[in-house]
Amino acid sequence: MPVDFSTIKADFPIFDRQINGKPIVYLDSGATSQKPRAVLDAMDNYYRNHSASVNRGAYQLAAEANDLVDDARASVARFIGAPSSNEIIFTKNATEAMNLFAYSWGHANLGEGDVVVISEMEHHANIVPWHMLTQSKGIELRWIPLTESGELDLSNLDALLDGAKLVSVTAMSNVLGTMNPIRRLADAAHAVGAIMMADGSQYVPHVPTNVTELGVDAMIFTGHKMLGPTGVGVLWGTTELLDAMPPFLGGGDMIMQVTKEGFTTNALPHKFEAGTPMVAEIIGLGAAVKYLENIGMDNVREHEVSLTAYALRSLKERFGDDITIHGPSEPASRGGLLSLVYKDVHPHDLSQVLDQANVCVRAGHHCAKPLMQLMGVNSTARASLHVYNDESDIDALADALESADDIFGGLGF
């Protein structure tokens, strides 16, 4: 059903706040999204009415807490089209989820000379764990290059996949907004006997996602970029893959039996969830999923494509060659992430000027230093969108950019 996105901002209490008498224009959802009242209420309800440790108690409060966590796990599984909620492993963020996978699956399945293929647009969370395995296990790390438009160059894919055991690529670049052909990569990986991991941190919060249709064997994402709380992330993997992986952490609820001679692991998902979980945060993520489902992810995607098109068009019309927006030029080929370079103004200086107008953007290398080097910059100012943004936010960004001339123009920029 069509959605009136102009009413959605009212669901987010933070936008009731003003700073120096001005409203907040929040354009940093690629770093962390704001939280709707439904998420805040769900977490508050747990602490006020159902607070107990899960997976251990047989009393009423514990049973209620168990039910809330189970419901959240089922909601997350449904949201990404996972065949079973037991395949949803909760971690504290996407970086931990990737490290869990790299440490557990990587140490069990990779040895000297084995090939892992990633791309030049990856977040450090999908680079550093594999560098660590090159040092400890002697694996070979190969990189899918990029085209000038910021898309994957797959012209030499067959050679890159020769001997590969894993392909691990972001579904959407956190710098360029590029949406990658994950199904094509998964099919190519499987054709050579490799498995496919997708980093869905920027993709899952904005695009209808079905892991079966994508053909991946594993995917990671995080709660705080999809209107949920910080402190909770997700590793999804097929049952076959997760069952074959050794545990990552020891103790707590990940065991079935412990003796002086050894231990046996619990069933999925508990095998990978040692210790007391982040109960309130899991419940909050479940509420965020239901909030997004109520909007409809097709509607979310349609709204962001339309808003991205408006941003690309209006910023270019207003600033011409003074502004560079990295990544694909076609809105339908990208997400709502706009990495900007404005004149010769340093991104950190630019973000501080925008902050004077309460326009919140992220400046930095966005945990993608190899990509920054490829782009020939040290950093960018990144504006990133979500469901609560509208054209007025883009206009506010443009007005704030224009006001930067008043400050930097006299300095020779």
Q: For residue 413, is pLDDT > 90? A: no
Q: What is the pLDDT of residues 340-386, one digit of tens each?
A: 999 989 999 999 999 999 999 999 999 999 999 999 999 999 999 99
Residue 35 domain-assigned (yes or no): no
Query: Are 78 and 20 within one domain?
Result: no
Query: Are 288 and 376 within one domain?
Result: no
Residue 308 domain-assigned (yes or no): yes
Q: Which domain holds residue 19?
A: 5-30+296-411
Query: Are 214 and 130 within one domain?
Result: yes
Write the CATH number for 96.
3.40.640.10
Query: Are 269 and 233 within one domain?
Result: yes
Query: Are 200 and 127 within one domain?
Result: yes
Query: Are 91 and 51 within one domain?
Result: yes
CB 382 within 8 A of CB 361: yes
Q: What is the pLDDT of residues 120-138, one digit of tens each?
A: 999 999 999 999 999 999 9
Write the CATH number for 384.
3.90.1150.10
Query: Are 277 and 349 within one domain?
Result: no
Domain count, the chain: 2
Of the candidates 242, 261, 294, which is a domain's last residue?
294
Residue 89 domain-assigned (yes or no): yes
Query: Are 323 and 356 within one domain?
Result: yes
Of the candidates 294, 327, 356, which is a domain's last residue?
294
Q: For residue 1, is pLDDT > 80? A: no
pLDDT confidence tier of residue 3, bands split at 50, 70 and 90: confident
Residue 93 domain-assigned (yes or no): yes
Please state, in angstroms and rounded to a whole number, the distance separating the CA atoms of residues 108 and 279: 30
The rounded mean pLDDT for the chain is: 96
Q: Which residues are catalytic?
A: 367
Query: Are 239 and 178 within one domain?
Result: yes
Q: For residue 410, is pLDDT > 60? A: no
Q: What is the pLDDT of residues 296-339, one digit of tens each?
A: 999 999 999 999 999 999 999 999 999 999 999 999 999 999 99
Query: Are 281 and 341 within one domain?
Result: no
pLDDT for position 2: 78
Query: Are 170 and 194 within one domain?
Result: yes
Please state, in angstroms and rounded to a whole number, the distance separating the CA atoms of residues 247 and 402: 53
> Is the entire prediction scored with pTM above 0.75?
yes
